[in-house]
Amino acid sequence: MPDHAALAASLTTPEAFLALTDESGVFGVKKSAKAALEIWNQADARYVGVYRGFPAPGGKGTGFVIRTYWDPARVSPDLDAVEVAIQTALPVALTQADEKVTWKARNNKQASFFAWRISQQQALSLWFQERFGISACATQLFDRADIHQDVAVVATSGGVDNLWSFTSKG
Amino acid sequence: MGTAATLLGIVAILFLATDTSAGGAVRVVITAFAIGCVFVPAAIAVGSVWLRGHNRRRESDAGAAPLSDRAVRVQQLLGRAAVRLAPDERADVHARAALGDEFRIAESTVRGLPPDEMLGFLWVARPSQPDGFPSSAEFAGLPDRVQDMIVLLDLRREAQLRGAEAALRTTSGVYHHDRARTLAAARRTDNAALLAQIETPHPRTDDLLAALDDSATWERLLRGDS
C-alpha cells in the first residue's frame, strides 16, 4: 500500500499534483493543477486514502461505476462484502438517482483533479457509510482507469467532499 | 445459450416450412424441437421466478415449517438454468437474482454450511441483507447459535464503525439488535470479559473489540459445544 500520509504531505505545489495524475496529457491540466492546489489548501479537512471503483448494474452503455473512498487510518472495509452488496443489495434506483446528482454537481471547471463533488448527505454515500463506513458516489464508467485506480485524494469543504483519484505507481 | 436456442428454433421452423421432402415422423420431431426452443427457456425463467418467490414467501412467514431440501435444490437448479437459457438482455437480471439467492442469510442457505465456512459467509453476506433483517422472519428462523453469531458479529461491526459507546447505546441502524438480545447472546458465550464490557456504564472500544475477538468463544459457537 502506498504511504498515504507521505503523499498527503507532498501535495504542496501544482507540480506535485501533475506528477501524480493519470491524466497528465489532458488539455488545460496545468491550470487545473493550480486550481487543485487551491482547493486542497482551503479545505476544512483533507486526507489521502484508498479509492476503489466497482462496476455496478443498472446503467446503459458502459454502465455505472460506484466510486468508493475512505481513510485507511480510520476504517478497513471488507471489499468482498462491498462487492456482494453492490451486486445484490444496492437498490438500482438509488444508484441511478445518485448518478444524476453527482453528474450535476461536478466541478465543470476542472479538466482533471477534484472533478467530483460529493455531498456527505447524499443517499448513496449514507447507504455505504451505514454498512461499511466508507463514502461513495455513482457515475458513468468513463475509463478503464475508473476501476484500476487505488488512491483517493479528498478535500472536504462545507460538507462536500472533493474527490480526485489516481493510480499509485509501484 | 438462450440466443443459441432461439436460433436453432428458427432454423428448425425454416426447415419445416421450406423442405417438403422430409417424412412425417421427422417433421413431428423437428416441430417438437422448434416448440421446445421457443417455449422451454421462457418456461424455465417463469418457473424460476415463481419458485424463488414462493420459497421466499414461505420463509418470511413466521409460522411456517422450514423449507424441504428438495425445494431448495429445485430452486437452485431452476435459477442456474434460467441464467444459462435467458436471452442476453435478461441474463444479467437472472444472474443478479441468482447471486442474491447465494448471499441471502436464511435457514435454507445456512443449513448446509460447515463450521469453517459459516463465519466467512455470515461476515460477507450480512451487509447485503435487507433493512430490518434483525427483526425479520428469516433471522428468527435461523438456528439459535447462528442468531447469536450474527448478533455478536453485528456488535463487532458497530463497535468498529461507531465506537463501543454508540454501538451499545444506539437504538437504530442496519446492524442494531435489542440490548436484551445482545445481553442474552453474550451470556450464552460464557465470555466474562465480553459481558463486563457490555454491562459497564463506560464501555471502551479497544476492550470490547478484544473481548469480541476471543477465539475460544467463536470456537464454541461454531462447533456447537455447550
Cell numbers at A157, concatenated: 469543504
Please, is B214 exposed, middle or buried when counting C-beta atoms within 10 Å of its C-beta (0-12, 13-18, 19+)?
middle
Q: For an interface test with B, which of A76, A131, A132, A134 has the most B Cβ atoms less than 10 Å from its Cβ?
A: A131
B68 touches chain A (CB under 8 A): no
Indicate the average pLDDT of chain B: 84
Read off the pLDDT of each residue in B27-56 and give the average, rounded to a whole number. Answer: 82
Place of cell 434483525: B134
Question: pLDDT category, B225, cuts 50, 70, 90?
Answer: low
d(CA A22, CA A38): 20
Q: Model confidence over B106-149: pLDDT tens digits?
A: 888 888 888 888 999 999 999 999 998 999 989 999 999 999 99
**B23 contact partners, CB below 8 Å, separation of at least 6:** none
- Residue B103 to residue A84, Cβ atoms within 8 A: yes
Asked if residue B68 lies in contact with residue B41, where contact means CB atoms within 8 angstroms, the answer is no
Instruction: Output b/e per residue, B26-38; b: 16+ Cβ within 10 A.
Output: eeeebeebbeebb
* pLDDT tens by residue, chain A, 170 residues: 889 999 999 999 999 998 998 887 888 888 899 999 999 999 999 999 999 999 998 888 889 999 999 999 999 999 999 999 999 999 999 999 999 999 999 998 887 889 999 999 999 999 999 999 999 999 999 988 899 999 999 999 999 999 999 998 86
Q: Model confidence over A95-108: pLDDT tens digits?
A: 999 999 999 999 98
User: What spatial distance separates the first Cα and last Cα of chain B, rounded to whole Å?
Assistant: 51
Q: Residues of chain A with pLDDT > 70: what percent?
A: 99
* Model pLDDT, residue B63: 67
> Which chain B residues are within 8 Å of A78, Cβ to Cβ?
123-124
Asked if residue A43 lies in contact with residue A162, where contact means CB atoms within 8 angstroms, the answer is yes
Q: How far is CA A102 from the centre of its chain?
A: 11
Does the complex come out with an ipTM higher than 0.90? no
Of A81, A85, A133, nearest to B161 by CB-CB distance is A133
> Which chain A residues are within 8 Å of B103, Cβ to Cβ?
84, 88
What's the pTM?
Answer: 0.83
